[in-house]
A = this chain, B = another copy of it.
């Protein structure tokens, strides 16, 4: 299918998962990295792996001579030698060295994005303490001081809260020995991320928008799809794809974004390689980020980026200490969690904060996902449940009423949904009084993830007992199907919605079955009582 040989700068976990995907396609991968048994080298036996620094120009040249396509698993490489190899056309390189150069320097990256009209938070170059003072005057406190280069997983960042902290901040980030810049403080409500894949021909496809939760600046948890409104999802997807259009070269890119309270989305930073926020794609998408990276840089057709499961999460397994057993607590819990898959990276030494592995969890719904991941998260942090509470869940059912006067009738429906643990929303949407809102609601319902809309039930009026209302609902024209339950019976509307969900979500099917059995027992208990006490005394 493809006989090109692939070389990778770096042999950590990203390289390892690239190798795993490559092996399935029988594609030969040569790794350049120092350890003889680095994670990526462990899972493809070949005598051709190169043992040396992935920043060493000579070693990179040696690798280039032995492969057809070069790629990276880390962007902090010596870009000069890549530019030289690129200009000599002796090897294909993805991503393009131009892209690596831009992304390596966070200030250059922000400038590039900003010039291409991609929304980013306000930022400013600083060259000395005086220009930092000017920035503080402009942006106010707190202010984010950042290294332009070699910054990742929170390294090279410092939040300055007051004048008193400036000296220490500058000292911590090397007193301008490494170039610095500042960013306006960004009080985001959520962090979002999108993996974007681009082919050699420039065709772009993106994976679902996910939300990421960081702990001490390291990615801790990823939820797919992100539990935000569909309009936000579209916005984030569009911005992510547009960002990658401004860069050169094929491959996979991770775009990290901030979601602000007002719905604005800013690009925080881009990774020109497989990314932690895309690990979930191995189990949850039709083609993983790793396989798609390989496909794109070898000029093979791109695979589907669709989710194949309703919901997925990724939890990083971070070193708690040098004790690997302590670190593996979440994995032990995951072994008894349905839908969980453990990935350990084969790292020989465990250190505090080191990425030792990750766990992917899939589920039939976001509700089930949270139930599955909370015990795993709680191993490390008793409070983590707060990040995954039900308030974060997008509704599956929408109850809408033409007027708040219907609320007394619809409350029973809401109670049913609540008792079945169905995430739902309840609002007023009137075809007559808020027609624009109704059109918007109907048009975006499927994008927002609604599976059932309960647009009221026929309500008993003073005249005709609600028969007019009943008739008006069933009598929608041919082609516009709407069904109704009985007048005032919003309980049954709720139960019917749960049954719809249960047809496709096994955890709700089970609840429907339990409800039906309970209901049957209750009636049978009445039968018994009637037999025992007789009808006169019942």
Residues of A that sit less than 8 Å from B by CB? 1, 20, 23-26, 37, 41-46, 283, 286-287, 291, 295, 300-301, 303-304, 306, 308-309, 328, 331-332, 335-336, 338-346, 357, 362, 446, 451-452, 470, 474-476, 478-487, 489, 491-496, 499-500, 502-504, 506, 509, 519
Cβ contact within 8 Å between A499 and B519: no
Neighbour of A42 across the interface among B45, B331, B491, CB < 8 A: B45
Cβ contact within 8 Å between A474 and B484: yes
Of A25, A492, A509, the most chain B CB neighbours within 10 A belong to A492
Known A20-B20, A335-B295, A336-B301; judge A341-B287 contact (CB<8 A). Answer: yes
Which residues on the B side are within 8 Å of A478 (C-beta)?
489, 491-492
Known A308-B309, A483-B496; judge A286-B509 contact (CB<8 A). Answer: no
Cβ contact within 8 Å between A26 and B344: yes
A435 to chain B, nearest CB (A): 16
Instruction: Identify 17 residue pairs between A and B in the complex whose beta-carbon atoms are under 8 Å apart, listed by A's number.
Output: A23-B43, A23-B346, A24-B341, A24-B344, A25-B342, A26-B344, A37-B45, A45-B45, A45-B46, A283-B308, A295-B335, A451-B504, A474-B485, A476-B486, A478-B489, A479-B491, A483-B496
Which residues on the B side are within 8 Å of A503 (C-beta)?
446, 451-452, 500, 504
Which residues on the B side are within 8 Å of A346 (C-beta)?
23, 26
A378 to B414, CA, bound (A): 51
A265 to chain B, nearest CB (A): 25
A205 to chain B, nearest CB (A): 11
Which residues on the B side are within 8 Å of A300 (C-beta)?
335
Q: Which residue of chain B is the closest to A475 with respect to CB atoms?
A: B486
Q: Which residue of chain B is the closest to A491 with respect to CB atoms?
A: B478
Which residues on the B side are within 8 Å of A331 (C-beta)?
1
- Which A-B residue pairs are the 5 nearest by beta carbons? A483-B483, A481-B496, A304-B338, A481-B492, A504-B504
Which residues on the B side are within 8 Å of A475 (C-beta)?
486
Which residues on the B side are within 8 Å of A41 (C-beta)?
45
Which residues on the B side are within 8 Å of A44 (C-beta)?
42-43, 45
Q: Which residue of chain B is the closest to A484 with respect to CB atoms?
A: B483
Known A41-B45, A287-B341, A338-B286; judge A309-B306 contact (CB<8 A). Answer: no
Query: How many subunits of this chain does the assembly comprise?
Result: 2
Identify 5 new A-B residue pairs, CB closer than 8 A, beyond the known A287-B341, A476-B492, A503-B504: A25-B344, A42-B44, A286-B341, A301-B336, A476-B485
Which residues on the B side are within 8 Å of A451 (C-beta)?
503-504
A334 to chain B, nearest CB (A): 10
A484 to chain B, nearest CB (A): 6
A529 to B476, CA, bound (A): 24
Cβ contact within 8 Å between A492 and B480: yes
Q: Which residue of chain B is the closest to A522 with respect to CB atoms?
A: B479
Which residues on the B side are within 8 Å of A482 (C-beta)?
485, 492, 496
A336 to B303, CA, bound (A): 7
Which residues on the B side are within 8 Å of A26 (C-beta)?
344-346, 357
Cβ contact within 8 Å between B338 and A306: yes
Of A340, A346, A503, the most chain B CB neighbours within 10 A belong to A503
Which residues on the B side are within 8 Å of A487 (C-beta)?
474
Known A1-B335, A44-B43; judge A509-B341 contact (CB<8 A). Answer: no
A328 to B492, CA, bound (A): 55
A506 to B476, CA, bound (A): 25
A19 to chain B, nearest CB (A): 8
A500 to B470, CA, bound (A): 21
Of A291, A308, A346, A452, the most chain B CB neighbours within 10 A belong to A308
Known A474-B470, A484-B474; judge A479-B519 contact (CB<8 A). Answer: yes
Which residues on the B side are within 8 Å of A509 (C-beta)?
446
A336 to B475, CA, bound (A): 45
Which residues on the B side are within 8 Å of A304 (C-beta)?
338-339
Which residues on the B side are within 8 Å of A46 (C-beta)?
45
Which residues on the B side are within 8 Å of A494 (C-beta)?
481
A475 to chain B, nearest CB (A): 5
Which residues on the B side are within 8 Å of A342 (C-beta)?
1, 24-25
A306 to B340, CA, bound (A): 12
A209 to B345, CA, bound (A): 33
Neighbour of A481 across the interface among B343, B474, B476, B485, CB < 8 A: B485
Cβ contact within 8 Å between A286 and B1: no
A23 to B344, CA, bound (A): 8
Cβ contact within 8 Å between A486 and B474: yes
Which residues on the B side are within 8 Å of A303 (C-beta)?
335, 338, 340
Which residues on the B side are within 8 Å of A344 (C-beta)?
1, 24-26
A294 to chain B, nearest CB (A): 11
A472 to chain B, nearest CB (A): 10
Known A452-B503, A479-B495, A480-B492; judge A339-B308 contact (CB<8 A). Answer: yes
Of A41, A303, A470, the most chain B CB neighbours within 10 A belong to A303
Which residues on the B side are within 8 Å of A483 (C-beta)?
483-485, 492-493, 496
